[in-house]
Amino acid sequence: MTNPGSKLVSTFALAVAALSAAPLAAQDTAAAPAATETQDDGIIVTGLRREESLQDTPAAVTAFDARAIENAGIERPADFIALTPNVNLVETQNAGNAFVIIRGITQNRNSEPSVAVIVDGVQQVNPAQFNQDLFDIAQIEVLKGPQGGLYGRNAIGGAIIITTKKPTDEFSGNVTAGIDNGFGYFLRGGISGPLADNVFFRVAGSYYDTDGFIPNTFLGEDADPVKDYSLRANLLVEATDRLTIDLRGSMNRLRTQGLYYNIVADVNDIADVEVNNPGQNDRDINNVSLKIEYAGDNAVFTSISSYDTLSEVLTGDAFDFKPIPESFFFNLFEFLFGPGNGFDLNQSQFLDVEAFSQEVRLASPEDGRAFNWMVGGYLIDTQRFISTGNMIDTGNGVFPVFRTPSTNPLNPQFSFLSDGQDNFAWALFANAGYELSPEFRVDASLRYDRDKRRQTTLTPQAFLPVVPGVPQAQSGEVRTAVFDDWQPKLTLTWEPNPDLTIYGGYSRGFRSGGFNQTGVGAEAVNNAIVGVGDIFQAETADTFEIGAKAQLGPVRLSGAAFTTLSKNSYFFVFLAQSSTQNLGNIPETRINGFELEATAEVLPNLDINAAIGVTDSEIKDFADPSVIGNEAPQISRYTINLGAQYAGPISDTVDGLLRIDYRRTGKTWWEPFNTTVRNPVDIVDARAGVSFDGVSVTAFAANLFDETYNAEFSPGGFVFRARPRRYGIEVGYKF
């Protein structure tokens, strides 16, 4: 058995060797590509709760400023994640199910997220909020490794910090319009300026309408049409030179489709989408937040209040996602009575979430003091309702089902499950940093999170599944569970000179557990499925990491190596007998890996970049001994990023942009038994354009060579198609 410590030493030795060979790298990476903005020494990042340059930050951070976001054409989370080594996004089923996989820490249906997502200082309360269009964004930071000491539960894999553009003291604005090959068009933009003395505003919005890109060969239309519009407003009041009040509101309305699965034996098998029910996926998100900050002589007080609502309804075809005459259930008794003696199914899901969160903190001023500190508290109260069900498909379409079973004769209810959750979580935290000398610094954080969950079974008694050997669930039954943990973080930083930063430390991440449907534990036992119970347990991740960053002339290099012990990581199980989606726990997994990144400005305005991220996982403990030694689910063995960009003048009055990005995602495993593995996926994106007098014209192509692959594989053979090639042109104007 390989010693994880020796792996860590070996991988970090590679990073140090790369940093030591910087002059050679400057000569030898001339053919290697990517975007230098992701490793720009001039970017100021705030992910560690203080402002410092990317070069000086003792953490593995990939950051994109406004210029990088514009040049790379970042319009949604998948775009910046594709440019970040050792991070993947799995998009599946419906808009709200998009899973961030970061350094081997995974996410799945009904689970808490693998990263804390913070937008303008407010942490998102539900993972279904994450996959939204990005517009009017000033900066994106991706922190890798547990950040629980800084951001609490769900920062088990890292944190994503998104900062929108601030109101300006002069009137300004921008607008971008474009078309794409999905017979789609989009419009986004914003305006900003002063309203009165020390009062400023910003309003931004986006709209996208497309017929789609993935053909449904049965219906003769695309399976993935989109209508998406968002609006965001910000009012900033500088009441005094010490007091600021920042009020924000946002909304998103998405209308699309989902559940266009196929059933295959191998994740690499590609099949046409043939669902006879296009269904719907409607998602409404609203947020209002208030940030109040008062800067005293010796401390800064910050209060952040946020109120969120999310509602999502999903309908579509059901197993086996074939037209009625070809479906499994419709022909289930063919061997006895001939074809067409059964019935087909469709399905509906409804999610409704309401949450209020409050954070208060007191911190030292950022005035260059050798000792800085922060203390604070956080609470969040969440009310959640979810219902799922199958209906008999009569060929008349599928209709949404909300809080009670369907009484529609065209869509008779076959199964129905619903529950409500009342969750209350709170945390206390403290951070401190001290510069022992100009070259050496120590940072420490400690946070305690407690999450109490109360679930009420709201399924009518007649619809509760009766499974032999399984205790009969009761409508109105209440279950409670408490998940809590301490999350420490310790980092040591050594900067022998301004161009070299070496850091190392330990951190713990924690993610709450939750409830599966009552009785599924016994059902799983009856079906010889291990690792699944009525409650899935909380997950912890303990990580040791060492890293270094160097700047030598035009070359910037960074490397980090880590080893993580994950306890109770998640895996997904669908139980057909009760038609439930459930999470199980893998008791122990060891994850080792590293990232290496290099960027260089080889000529004025011409930048190249190369990056590799490697994640090696091994299941160490599982109820079925045959699984021990396997790869953990959803983890890709490696990512490779290459890119090149020219962004500069092509004449006295015209600037040009030519950019190409290549991403290779290595082999990916999907479930603990490793019955199938997806082959590596290669994606190329490109952008080319010109700009003059505030006007820009840009052509773009995502997945330029039209790589065909499945974005996800779920146990049972469910695969979800990835988006094929998208290309178009956009015109922008800034004033």
DSSP string over 675-729: --EEPPEEEEEEEEEEEETTEEEEEEEESTT----EEEEETTTEEEEPP--EEEE
For residues 493 and 444, what is the distance between their CA atoms, to the nearest angstrom?
11
pLDDT at 593 over 70: yes
Pairing of strands 371-393, 243-256: unpaired
The listed range with the strongest mean pLDDT (322-336, 520-534, 611-625) is: 611-625
pTM of the shown model: 0.91
pLDDT tens for each residue of 491-509: 999 999 999 999 999 999 9
Q: Which option is the CATH number for 4-734: 2.40.50.140, 3.40.50.300, 3.40.640.10, 2.40.170.20?
A: 2.40.170.20
H/E stretch holding 582: strand 580-586
Residue 64, Cβ density class (10 Å: 0-12 exposed, 13-18 middle, ≥19 buried): buried
Backbone angles phi, psi at 64, to 5 degrees: -125, 120
Q: pLDDT digits over 229-266, tens only?
A: 999 999 999 999 999 999 999 999 999 999 999 999 99
Q: In the structure, what pLDDT confidence band is assigned to residue 577 with cuts at 50, 70 and 90? A: low
| % residues pLDDT > 90 (the chain) | 79
Lowest mean pLDDT among 185-194, 266-275, 367-376, 561-570: 367-376
Cα gap 113→99, rounded to integer Å:
7
Residues counted in the chain: 735
State the Cα–Cα distance between residues 511 and 113, nearest whole angstrom: 8
Q: What is the DSSP letter of 636?
A: B
Give the distance, in angstroms, between the CA of residue 657 and the centroid of all CA atoms in the same chain: 29
**Do 28 and 17 meet the contact criterion of CB atoms below 8 Å apart?**
no
Instruction: Report helix, strand or coil for 3.
Output: coil
Question: Tokens in use for 378?
Answer: 């956080």
Whether 120 contacts 289, CB under 8 Å: yes
Task: Kindly tell me the number of DSSP H helices and DSSP E strands found in the chain.
Answer: 7, 42
Q: Which burial class, exposed, middle or buried, applies to 177 when counting CB atoms under 10 A from its CB (0-12, 13-18, 19+)?
A: middle
Distance, in Å, from the CA atom of 503 to the CA atom of 492, rounded to the nearest integer, reads: 6
> Whole-angstrom Cα distance, residue 451 to residue 469?
32
CB neighbour class for 240 (10 Å; exposed up to 12, middle 13-18, buried from 19): exposed
Q: What is the pLDDT of residue 41?
A: 44
The rounded distance, in Å, linking the Cα atoms of 416 and 349 is: 10
Q: What is the pLDDT of residue 473?
A: 80
**Angstrom distance (rounded) from CA 558 to CA 4:** 22
Instruction: Quickly tell me which residue has 């517009």 as its tokens.
Output: 135
Residues in contact with 224: Cβ distance below 8 Å, sequence separation at least 6, in sequence order: 212, 213, 214, 256, 257, 260, 723
d(CA 129, CA 132) in angstroms, rounded, equals 7
pLDDT at 11: 42
Q: Which whole number is the average pLDDT over 176-186?
A: 97
Averaged over 38-60, what is the pLDDT?
A: 80
* pLDDT, tens digit (0-9, with 9 covering 90-100), for 149-172: 999 989 999 999 999 999 999 999
Record the tokens describing residue 434, joined without a space.
């001290």
**DSSP states of 111-147:** SPPSSEEEETTEE-SSGGGSS----SEEEEEEEES--
What's the mean per-residue pLDDT of the chain? 91
Q: Do 568 and 538 contact (CB within 8 A), yes or no? A: yes
Amino acid identity of residue 488, one-letter, is P
Q: What CA–CA distance (Å, rounded) separates 622 from 715?
A: 17
| Amino acid letter for position 208 | Y
380-413 confidence digits (pLDDT tens): 999 999 999 999 999 999 999 999 999 999 999 9
Number of C-beta neighbours around residue 67 at 10 A: 12
Q: Which residue carries 């505030």 as its tokens? A: 694
Q: Lowest-confidence range among 25-34, 441-450, 490-499, 597-606?
A: 25-34
Backbone torsions φ then ψ of 201, nearest 5 degrees: -135, 160
**Half-sphere CA count of 538, side-chain side, radius 13 A:** 20
pLDDT of residue 579: 64
Asked if 253 contacts 263 with a C-beta cutoff of 8 angstroms, the reply is: no
Task: Tell me how far apart the alpha carbons of residues 455 and 382 are, in angstroms, rounded to a whole number.
Answer: 12
- Using alpha carbons, select from 311, 312, 388, 386 the residue that is nearest to residue 346: 388
Domain boundaries, the chain: 4-734
Q: Mark 202-217 as b/e (b = at least 16 C-beta within 10 Å).
A: bbbbbbbbbebbbbbe
Q: Give the Cα separation of 576 and 556 in Å (integer).
A: 52
Q: How far apart are CA 352 and CA 400, in angstroms?
A: 14
For residues 368 and 542, the model is more confident at 542
pLDDT score for 336: 67
Q: Quick one: how far is CA 119 from the chain centroid?
A: 13
